[in-house]
Protein backbone atom coordinates (compact mmCIF):
# COMPACT_ATOMS: atom_id res chain seq x y z
CA UNK A 1 0.00 0.00 0.00
CA UNK A 2 1.15 3.55 -0.75
CA UNK A 3 2.84 5.12 2.28
CA UNK A 4 0.51 8.13 2.34
CA UNK A 5 -2.50 5.82 2.26
CA UNK A 6 -1.00 3.99 5.24
CA UNK A 7 -0.75 7.29 7.13
CA UNK A 8 -4.38 8.09 6.30
CA UNK A 9 -5.53 4.72 7.61
CA UNK A 10 -3.51 5.15 10.79
CA UNK A 11 -4.91 8.67 11.25
CA UNK A 12 -8.48 7.35 10.90
CA UNK A 13 -8.01 4.96 13.80
CA UNK A 14 -7.82 7.89 16.22
CA UNK A 15 -8.71 11.14 14.42
CA UNK A 16 -6.94 14.15 15.85
CA UNK A 17 -7.92 17.82 15.89
CA UNK A 18 -5.61 19.62 13.45
CA UNK A 19 -5.70 23.40 13.07
CA UNK A 20 -5.29 25.23 9.76
CA UNK A 21 -4.57 28.94 10.35
CA UNK A 22 -4.97 29.95 6.68
CA UNK A 23 -8.76 29.55 6.60
CA UNK A 24 -9.37 31.94 3.72
CA UNK A 25 -7.39 29.79 1.27
CA UNK A 26 -9.70 27.66 -0.88
CA UNK A 27 -7.12 24.84 -1.02
CA UNK A 28 -7.16 24.66 2.77
CA UNK A 29 -10.96 24.66 2.81
CA UNK A 30 -11.15 21.95 0.16
CA UNK A 31 -8.68 19.80 2.10
CA UNK A 32 -10.53 20.40 5.37
CA UNK A 33 -13.84 19.32 3.83
CA UNK A 34 -12.27 16.13 2.47
CA UNK A 35 -10.43 15.37 5.71
CA UNK A 36 -13.66 15.73 7.66
CA UNK A 37 -15.73 13.73 5.18
CA UNK A 38 -13.28 10.80 5.34
CA UNK A 39 -12.72 11.06 9.13
CA UNK A 40 -8.95 11.36 8.66
CA UNK A 41 -8.68 14.31 11.06
CA UNK A 42 -11.02 16.71 12.80
CA UNK A 43 -10.11 19.94 11.00
CA UNK A 44 -10.26 23.32 12.71
CA UNK A 45 -10.06 26.28 10.34
CA UNK A 46 -9.16 29.75 11.61
CA UNK A 47 -10.88 32.76 10.12
CA UNK A 48 -13.91 35.00 10.20
CA UNK A 49 -16.80 32.58 9.69
CA UNK A 50 -18.76 34.70 7.23
CA UNK A 51 -15.73 35.23 5.01
CA UNK A 52 -14.70 31.58 5.20
CA UNK A 53 -18.19 30.42 4.21
CA UNK A 54 -18.37 32.99 1.41
CA UNK A 55 -15.01 31.80 0.05
CA UNK A 56 -16.22 28.20 0.26
CA UNK A 57 -19.41 29.04 -1.60
CA UNK A 58 -17.44 30.46 -4.54
CA UNK A 59 -16.04 27.01 -5.26
CA UNK A 60 -19.05 24.95 -4.27
CA UNK A 61 -17.55 23.68 -1.03
CA UNK A 62 -19.81 22.74 1.85
CA UNK A 63 -17.80 22.97 5.08
CA UNK A 64 -20.73 22.33 7.43
CA UNK A 65 -18.75 19.68 9.31
CA UNK A 66 -15.60 21.80 9.55
CA UNK A 67 -15.10 23.77 12.75
CA UNK A 68 -14.38 27.45 12.08
CA UNK A 69 -12.90 29.63 14.83
CA UNK A 70 -12.47 33.39 14.72
CA UNK A 71 -9.78 34.56 17.18
CA UNK A 72 -11.74 37.78 17.72
CA UNK A 73 -14.75 35.83 19.03
CA UNK A 74 -12.86 33.12 20.90
CA UNK A 75 -14.08 32.66 24.46
CA UNK A 76 -10.71 31.45 25.71
CA UNK A 77 -8.73 34.43 24.44
CA UNK A 78 -7.89 35.80 27.91
CA UNK A 79 -6.45 32.43 28.90
CA UNK A 80 -4.33 32.40 25.74
CA UNK A 81 -3.04 35.92 26.35
CA UNK A 82 -2.05 35.08 29.93
CA UNK A 83 -0.37 31.86 28.81
CA UNK A 84 1.56 33.67 26.07
CA UNK A 85 2.80 36.34 28.50
CA UNK A 86 3.92 33.63 30.92
CA UNK A 87 5.97 32.06 28.13
CA UNK A 88 7.47 35.37 27.01
CA UNK A 89 8.32 37.54 30.00
CA UNK A 90 9.43 40.36 27.68
CA UNK A 91 5.97 40.73 26.08
CA UNK A 92 3.49 43.32 27.31
CA UNK A 93 -0.23 42.67 27.64
CA UNK A 94 -0.94 44.94 24.69
CA UNK A 95 1.57 43.23 22.44
CA UNK A 96 0.28 39.79 23.44
CA UNK A 97 -3.26 40.86 22.51
CA UNK A 98 -2.10 42.10 19.11
CA UNK A 99 -0.11 38.95 18.41
CA UNK A 100 -2.95 36.67 19.42
CA UNK A 101 -5.10 38.21 16.69
CA UNK A 102 -2.68 36.81 14.13
CA UNK A 103 -4.01 33.49 12.85
CA UNK A 104 -0.64 31.73 12.86
CA UNK A 105 0.20 32.70 16.45
CA UNK A 106 -3.34 31.87 17.54
CA UNK A 107 -3.13 28.47 15.83
CA UNK A 108 0.20 27.70 17.49
CA UNK A 109 -1.31 28.71 20.83
CA UNK A 110 -4.18 26.28 20.28
CA UNK A 111 -1.56 23.53 19.91
CA UNK A 112 0.46 24.69 22.92
CA UNK A 113 -2.65 24.82 25.13
CA UNK A 114 -3.83 21.37 24.05
CA UNK A 115 -7.02 22.57 22.36
CA UNK A 116 -5.87 20.94 19.12
CA UNK A 117 -3.32 18.20 18.49
CA UNK A 118 -1.24 19.71 15.69
CA UNK A 119 -0.97 22.51 13.12
CA UNK A 120 -0.58 22.60 9.34
CA UNK A 121 0.30 25.93 7.69
CA UNK A 122 2.35 27.38 4.87
CA UNK A 123 -0.02 27.54 1.91
CA UNK A 124 0.29 31.33 2.07
CA UNK A 125 3.02 31.79 4.69
CA UNK A 126 6.82 31.65 4.47
CA UNK A 127 8.51 28.69 6.14
CA UNK A 128 10.68 31.03 8.24
CA UNK A 129 7.55 32.61 9.73
CA UNK A 130 6.10 29.22 10.63
CA UNK A 131 9.37 28.12 12.23
CA UNK A 132 9.62 31.30 14.26
CA UNK A 133 5.99 31.15 15.42
CA UNK A 134 6.21 27.49 16.42
CA UNK A 135 9.53 27.98 18.21
CA UNK A 136 8.20 30.98 20.13
CA UNK A 137 4.82 29.56 21.13
CA UNK A 138 5.21 25.76 21.17
CA UNK A 139 8.92 25.38 21.82
CA UNK A 140 11.22 22.45 21.14
CA UNK A 141 11.06 18.79 22.06
CA UNK A 142 13.07 17.49 25.00
CA UNK A 143 16.79 17.79 24.37
CA UNK A 144 16.34 19.54 21.02
CA UNK A 145 17.47 23.12 20.41
CA UNK A 146 16.80 23.63 16.71
CA UNK A 147 13.97 22.87 14.26
CA UNK A 148 14.80 20.75 11.24
CA UNK A 149 13.14 18.81 8.47
CA UNK A 150 13.22 15.41 6.85
CA UNK A 151 12.03 13.68 3.72
CA UNK A 152 10.64 10.17 3.54
CA UNK A 153 12.24 8.80 0.39
CA UNK A 154 10.38 5.83 -1.09
CA UNK A 155 12.77 4.09 -3.50
CA UNK A 156 11.15 1.70 -6.02
CA UNK A 157 13.89 -0.92 -5.65
CA UNK A 158 17.02 -0.96 -3.52
CA UNK A 159 19.27 -3.98 -2.92
CA UNK A 160 16.44 -6.35 -3.77
CA UNK A 161 13.88 -4.60 -1.57
CA UNK A 162 10.78 -3.05 -3.14
CA UNK A 163 9.64 0.41 -2.04
CA UNK A 164 12.52 0.90 0.36
CA UNK A 165 11.87 3.83 2.72
CA UNK A 166 14.76 5.99 3.95
CA UNK A 167 14.74 9.12 6.09
CA UNK A 168 16.84 11.99 4.69
CA UNK A 169 17.64 14.95 6.99
CA UNK A 170 18.06 17.88 7.02
CA UNK A 171 17.15 18.79 3.45
CA UNK A 172 15.21 22.03 3.81
CA UNK A 173 15.89 24.11 6.94
CA UNK A 174 19.43 24.32 8.39
CA UNK A 175 21.98 25.62 5.91
CA UNK A 176 25.19 25.00 7.84
CA UNK A 177 24.42 23.36 11.19
CA UNK A 178 26.97 23.31 13.99
CA UNK A 179 28.03 20.01 15.51
CA UNK A 180 25.46 20.46 18.27
CA UNK A 181 22.70 21.27 15.82
CA UNK A 182 23.67 18.34 13.62
CA UNK A 183 23.41 16.08 16.67
CA UNK A 184 19.91 17.44 17.39
CA UNK A 185 18.92 16.78 13.77
CA UNK A 186 20.10 13.19 14.13
CA UNK A 187 18.18 12.61 17.37
CA UNK A 188 15.01 14.28 16.05
CA UNK A 189 15.23 12.21 12.86
CA UNK A 190 15.56 9.00 14.84
CA UNK A 191 12.46 9.91 16.82
CA UNK A 192 10.62 10.73 13.59
CA UNK A 193 11.54 7.34 12.13
CA UNK A 194 10.18 5.58 15.21
CA UNK A 195 7.06 7.73 15.25
CA UNK A 196 6.02 7.64 11.61
CA UNK A 197 7.59 4.47 10.21
CA UNK A 198 7.41 2.39 13.38
CA UNK A 199 10.95 1.14 12.80
CA UNK A 200 14.07 1.11 14.94
CA UNK A 201 16.32 3.81 13.46
CA UNK A 202 19.85 3.06 12.29
CA UNK A 203 21.26 6.54 11.95
CA UNK A 204 24.27 7.27 9.73
CA UNK A 205 26.18 10.54 10.09
CA UNK A 206 27.33 11.16 6.52
CA UNK A 207 30.55 12.73 5.28
CA UNK A 208 33.07 12.37 2.45
CA UNK A 209 35.12 10.24 4.84
CA UNK A 210 34.53 6.84 6.40
CA UNK A 211 35.93 6.34 9.89
CA UNK A 212 38.95 8.59 9.46
CA UNK A 213 39.75 7.85 5.82
CA UNK A 214 40.26 11.59 5.31
CA UNK A 215 41.03 14.60 7.48
CA UNK A 216 39.26 17.96 7.36
CA UNK A 217 37.42 20.36 9.71
CA UNK A 218 34.13 19.40 8.02
CA UNK A 219 34.74 15.79 9.04
CA UNK A 220 35.61 16.89 12.57
CA UNK A 221 32.18 18.54 12.80
CA UNK A 222 30.46 15.27 11.90
CA UNK A 223 32.49 13.20 14.38
CA UNK A 224 31.79 15.74 17.12
CA UNK A 225 28.08 15.64 16.25
CA UNK A 226 28.20 11.85 16.54
CA UNK A 227 29.61 12.07 20.07
CA UNK A 228 26.93 14.55 21.14
CA UNK A 229 24.10 12.59 19.53
CA UNK A 230 25.17 9.38 21.23
CA UNK A 231 25.22 11.15 24.59
CA UNK A 232 21.73 12.58 23.98
CA UNK A 233 20.21 9.34 22.68
CA UNK A 234 22.09 6.34 24.07
CA UNK A 235 19.11 4.16 23.16
CA UNK A 236 19.56 4.83 19.43
CA UNK A 237 21.96 3.19 16.97
CA UNK A 238 23.97 6.16 15.66
CA UNK A 239 27.31 5.79 13.90
CA UNK A 240 29.70 7.50 11.51
CA UNK A 241 31.34 9.23 9.98
CA UNK A 242 30.35 7.30 6.84
CA UNK A 243 30.44 7.88 3.13
CA UNK A 244 27.00 7.14 1.69
CA UNK A 245 28.00 3.78 0.20
CA UNK A 246 29.46 2.58 3.50
CA UNK A 247 26.24 3.59 5.23
CA UNK A 248 23.94 1.79 2.77
CA UNK A 249 25.75 -1.11 1.11
CA UNK A 250 26.85 -4.06 3.22
CA UNK A 251 29.66 -5.26 0.96
CA UNK A 252 31.15 -1.76 0.92
CA UNK A 253 30.80 -1.46 4.69
CA UNK A 254 32.58 -4.76 5.16
CA UNK A 255 35.60 -3.35 3.30
CA UNK A 256 35.63 0.19 4.68
CA UNK A 257 34.44 -0.21 8.28
CA UNK A 258 36.84 -2.29 10.36
CA UNK A 259 35.06 -1.99 13.70
CA UNK A 260 31.69 -3.50 14.73
CA UNK A 261 28.74 -1.30 13.73
CA UNK A 262 24.98 -1.77 13.94
CA UNK A 263 24.55 0.95 11.31
CA UNK A 264 27.22 0.49 8.62
CA UNK A 265 25.77 -1.06 5.48
CA UNK A 266 22.20 -1.02 6.79
CA UNK A 267 21.35 2.58 7.67
CA UNK A 268 17.74 3.70 7.31
CA UNK A 269 18.20 7.30 8.51
CA UNK A 270 20.75 9.45 6.67
CA UNK A 271 22.00 12.66 8.30
CA UNK A 272 23.67 15.04 5.84
CA UNK A 273 26.37 17.44 7.06
CA UNK A 274 24.74 20.53 5.57
CA UNK A 275 21.86 21.73 3.42
CA UNK A 276 23.90 21.60 0.21
CA UNK A 277 24.45 17.87 0.63
CA UNK A 278 20.93 17.08 1.85
CA UNK A 279 19.05 19.06 -0.77
CA UNK A 280 21.19 17.80 -3.64
CA UNK A 281 20.97 14.20 -2.44
CA UNK A 282 17.19 14.07 -2.11
CA UNK A 283 16.63 15.64 -5.53
CA UNK A 284 19.12 13.30 -7.20
CA UNK A 285 17.45 10.33 -5.52
CA UNK A 286 14.02 11.58 -6.53
CA UNK A 287 14.80 12.08 -10.20
CA UNK A 288 17.54 9.57 -10.97
CA UNK A 289 16.18 6.69 -8.89
CA UNK A 290 12.53 7.52 -9.51
CA UNK A 291 11.96 7.83 -5.76
CA UNK A 292 8.90 9.42 -4.20
CA UNK A 293 9.90 12.29 -1.92
CA UNK A 294 7.41 12.92 0.89
CA UNK A 295 8.15 16.19 2.66
CA UNK A 296 9.78 18.26 3.81
CA UNK A 297 8.23 17.40 7.18
CA UNK A 298 9.15 19.59 10.14
CA UNK A 299 10.55 18.05 13.30
CA UNK A 300 12.09 19.10 16.58
CA UNK A 301 9.09 20.89 18.07
CA UNK A 302 7.46 19.80 21.32
CA UNK A 303 4.18 19.18 19.49
CA UNK A 304 3.38 18.42 15.84
CA UNK A 305 3.68 21.29 13.38
CA UNK A 306 4.22 21.01 9.65
CA UNK A 307 4.84 23.30 6.76
CA UNK A 308 3.30 23.38 3.29
CA UNK A 309 4.73 24.47 -0.01
CA UNK A 310 3.00 27.62 -1.19
CA UNK A 311 2.22 25.67 -4.34
CA UNK A 312 0.58 22.87 -2.34
CA UNK A 313 -2.52 21.23 -3.83
CA UNK A 314 -5.56 20.02 -1.91
CA UNK A 315 -4.17 16.49 -1.97
CA UNK A 316 -0.78 17.68 -0.71
CA UNK A 317 -2.49 19.34 2.25
CA UNK A 318 -4.48 16.20 3.01
CA UNK A 319 -1.28 14.13 2.97
CA UNK A 320 0.56 16.49 5.32
CA UNK A 321 -2.44 16.60 7.67
CA UNK A 322 -2.48 12.79 7.84
CA UNK A 323 1.23 12.76 8.72
CA UNK A 324 0.76 15.41 11.43
CA UNK A 325 -2.17 13.39 12.81
CA UNK A 326 0.00 10.27 13.08
CA UNK A 327 2.71 12.34 14.78
CA UNK A 328 0.06 13.54 17.23
CA UNK A 329 -1.03 9.99 17.99
CA UNK A 330 2.54 9.28 19.10
CA UNK A 331 3.45 12.70 20.48
CA UNK A 332 5.22 11.14 23.45
CA UNK A 333 7.84 9.93 20.99
CA UNK A 334 8.52 13.32 19.37
Say whether both 77 and 194 belong to one domain. Answer: no
Number of domains comprising the chain: 2
Task: Output the average pLDDT for the chain.
Answer: 93
Q: How is 149-212 classified by DSSP, letter by letter?
A: EEEEEEEEEETTEEEEEEEEE-SSS-SS--HHHHHHHHHHHHHHIIIII-S--EEEEE-SSSSS
Say whether both 111 and 237 belong to one domain. Answer: no
Say whether both 197 and 283 belong to one domain. Answer: yes
For residue 333, pLDDT over 60 is answered with no
Mean pLDDT along residues 51-80: 88
Say whether both 133 and 9 belong to one domain. Answer: yes
Of 238, 233, 234, 200, nearest to 222 (Cα)? 238
> In terms of DSSP bridges, do strands 148-158 and 118-121 run parallel, antiparallel, or are they unpaired?
unpaired
Say whether both 261 and 203 belong to one domain. Answer: yes
Give CA 160 to chain center in angstroms.
Answer: 29
Say whether both 155 and 284 belong to one domain. Answer: yes
The pLDDT tens digits of the residues spanning 303-319 come to 999 999 888 899 999 99
pLDDT confidence of residue 61? 85
CATH number at residue 256: 3.40.50.10750
Say whether both 289 and 319 belong to one domain. Answer: no
User: Alpha-carbon distance 14 to 325, whole Å?
Assistant: 9
Q: Per-residue confidence at 221, pLDDT binned at 50, 70, 90?
A: very high
The pLDDT tens digits of the residues spanning 273-288 come to 999 999 999 999 999 9
Say whether both 279 and 323 belong to one domain. Answer: no
Mean pLDDT along residues 254-258: 92
Say whether both 7 and 75 belong to one domain. Answer: yes
pLDDT confidence of residue 292? 93
Could you give the 3-state DSSP secondary structure of residue 90?
A: coil
Mean pLDDT along residues 315-328: 95
Say whether both 193 and 77 belong to one domain. Answer: no
Give the range of the structural domain holding residue 88, as residue numbers without chain letter: 3-139+303-333
User: What percentage of the chain has pLDDT greater than the value 70?
Assistant: 99
| Contact indicator for 302, 141 with CB cutoff of 8 Å | yes
The pLDDT tens digits of the residues spanning 27-50 come to 999 999 999 999 999 999 999 988
Say whether both 275 and 322 belong to one domain. Answer: no
CATH number at residue 109: 3.40.50.10950
Of 312 and 268, the one with more pLDDT? 268
Could you give the 3-state DSSP secondary structure of residue 126?
A: coil
For residue 332, pLDDT over 80 is answered with no
For residue 263, pLDDT over 90 is answered with yes
Say whether both 134 and 152 belong to one domain. Answer: no
Mean pLDDT along residues 54-67: 84
Amino acid sequence: MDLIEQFKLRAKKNPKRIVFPEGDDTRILAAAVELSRNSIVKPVVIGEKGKVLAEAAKTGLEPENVEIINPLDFSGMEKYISAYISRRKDVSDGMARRLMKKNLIFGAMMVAEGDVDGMVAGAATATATILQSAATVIGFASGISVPSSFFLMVIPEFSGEKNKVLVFADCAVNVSPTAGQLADIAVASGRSARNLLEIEPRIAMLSFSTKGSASHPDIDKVTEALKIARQKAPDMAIDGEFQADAALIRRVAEKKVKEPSSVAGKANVLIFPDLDAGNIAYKLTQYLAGAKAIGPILQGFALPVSDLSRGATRDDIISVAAIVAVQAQNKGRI
